[in-house]
Structure 1
Amino acid sequence: MEDRKLTVRAVERAIDILMCFTKADDLGLTEIAGEIGLHKSTVYRLLTTLEEKGFVIRNSATEKYRLGLKIWELSAHLSHNDDPAILLLPQMEQLRDRLGETVSLYLRDGTDRLRIQAVQSNQAIRRVAQVGARLPLYVGASSKVLVAYEEEAVIRAVLEVADWPAAVDRNAYVAQLQEIRKLGYATSYEEREPGAAAVSAPIFDRTGKIAAALSVSGPVSRLSPQTLKEFAPVLIEAAREMGMMIHT
């Protein structure tokens, strides 16, 4: 008999509500209901429970919700030994100071990438990277790195996503993945965001499996294709050192 995953629908829906706040800081009842596809009365009951438990806060003036202090209380108890966002932060700060640009850390989550940590450049003109941002895997240096070193099943799943843009040629994308595996890094130049460039390298855990993507990004006025190429060896070495710190 096949194993079946047991889930509690109310818990799933409550988690769906909380995940809505990865896209916006303040949300109204109608917005949340529309995002997760539930009736407003159902969402209201769930929000009331989450509010009573401190996971969301309702602004009585605007009737909008935001994440509550319980979320931050939980995050404060994340293990420094297990959470790459905390564990690798000092090394990311050192890399930012050395290269002068914004440094980000990404994980793959299904067919998306998630920015779990960022250290902003100290320069006046800089690229601000928002922690918690969820981005597609079909574009961007970090996206390509996270896919290039994955198993074939993962690569196929990414290539088959329903919202794959017509402007991105799948064959060219696969060729880029092969080139990334050869070079050990990926670059993007105004590929996802106009005026922005990035270089990314894989972080492997001690078993040799890709654990994350380390990225340096900034404005194209400073990060020319040649500059990205010069940054690559520094980034690869930093990623190698970080990989030795990750527990499996």
Structure 2
Amino acid sequence: MEDRKLTVRAVERALDILMCFTEATDLGLTEIAAKIGLHKSTVHRLLTTLEERGFVIRNAATEKYRLGIRIWELSTHMSRNEDPAVLLLPLMEKLRDRLGETVSLYIRDGDERIRIQAVQSMQAIRRVATVGARMPLSVGASSKVLVAFASTAELELLKKGPELQALADDETYWRQLEEIRAKGYATSYEEREPGAAAVAAPIMNHKGEITAALSVSGPVSRLSPETLHEFAPIIVEAGKEMGMLLP
């Protein structure tokens, strides 16, 4: 039993190392050890194994690690038939071309949201959205959509989590979520990031469950509060169209 526990712990630690690369492309041993809170010698042993198996690559010149070819090989065998990031990309590009701003797709993972797809604006000054980025659920148009349209059971769990627990007594926040459910979209204006604004709508599957949040974002110099509300009906309709493609 003890050996089994140790094996599971080793797997968890190895996965923690791989997850570090959702925030950066190249990382050194010291950086990885600091991120996951382990001694460098332990991390080095795990990295050596991952490197031997092709899951990470070490640059001898910089002594930094990056994801290896095995990660790509695994990803090529993922089912694409139900992957929103793949299914919805053409419609996201169509929306980008219509509105001229960056379009992003977010899903909820526990107390965070993850950007799983993005189509960048073609304008010189634009909001650059990094795929794989994780953000808190407490702020931002997409976060509010993911929370507002969550099921009652999911919402109760979220209220007990670290992100929303601090907002438990914030009547303004919960009233805002009710308004978002009624309107069908959410806006944010320099809430999470100075100089950036966004408007988001839910993408619901055929069961009426929220699958993702569709967001259009850009600099506040172009996306005034008035412009966000002008864009909103277009994004809501795009979200409905995308939802029809989901299983």
Scaled by the length of structure 1, the TM-score of the pair is 0.91
Unaligned stretches of 5+ residues in structure 1: 1-6
- Show the 5 A alignment for 1:27-46: 27-46=27-46
Residue equivalent to 1:80: 80
Q: Aligned-pair distance for 1:164? A: 6.2
Is the CA contact 2:190–2:197 (under 8 Å) kept in the aligned structure 1? yes
Q: Aligned-pair distance for 1:221? A: 0.8
Structure 1 residues 168 and 127: CA distance shift in structure 2, 3 A? farther
Is the CA contact 1:195–1:220 (under 8 Å) kept in the aligned structure 2? yes
Q: How many residues are treated as equivalent by the alignment?
A: 241
SS state of the match for residue 126, structure 2?
A: coil
One-letter amino acid of the structure 2 residue matched with residue 50 of structure 1 = L
Residue equivalent to 2:3: none
Residue equivalent to 1:52: 52
Q: Aligned-pair distance for 1:29? A: 1.2
Is the CA contact 2:137–2:163 (under 8 Å) kept in the aligned structure 1? no
CA distance in 2, matches of 1:166, 1:190: 20
Cα deviation code 1:116-162 (max 9, x no counterpart)? 00000001110000000000000000000000011234334444443
One-letter amino acid of the structure 2 residue matched with residue 140 of structure 1 = G
Structure 1 residues 31 and 105: CA distance shift in structure 2, 3 A? same
CA distance in 1, matches of 2:174, 2:93: 32
1:236 aligns with 2:236: yes
Q: CA RMSD in A?
A: 1.9
Range 195-204 or range 43-52, more displaced: 43-52
CA distance in 2, matches of 1:162, 1:204: 26
SS state of the match for residue 203, structure 1?
A: strand
Is the CA contact 2:138–2:163 (under 8 Å) kept in the aligned structure 1? no
- Show the 5 A alignment for 1:184-203: 184-203=184-203
Residue equivalent to 1:4: none
Scaled by the length of structure 2, the TM-score of the pair is 0.92
Unaligned stretches of 5+ residues in structure 2: 1-6
1:18 aligns with 2:23: no
Q: Which consecutive aligned stretches of 4+ in structure 1 deviate over 6 angstroms post-superposition?
A: 164-169
One-letter amino acid of the structure 2 residue matched with residue 8 of structure 1 = V
Is the CA contact 1:138–1:158 (under 8 Å) kept in the aligned structure 2? no
Range 158-167 or range 114-123, more displaced: 158-167
Range 126-135 or range 154-163, more displaced: 154-163
CA distance in 2, matches of 1:168, 1:99: 36
CA distance in 1, matches of 2:152, 2:164: 18
Is the CA contact 1:159–1:170 (under 8 Å) kept in the aligned structure 2? no
Is the CA contact 2:137–2:164 (under 8 Å) kept in the aligned structure 1? no
Is the CA contact 1:111–1:157 (under 8 Å) kept in the aligned structure 2? no
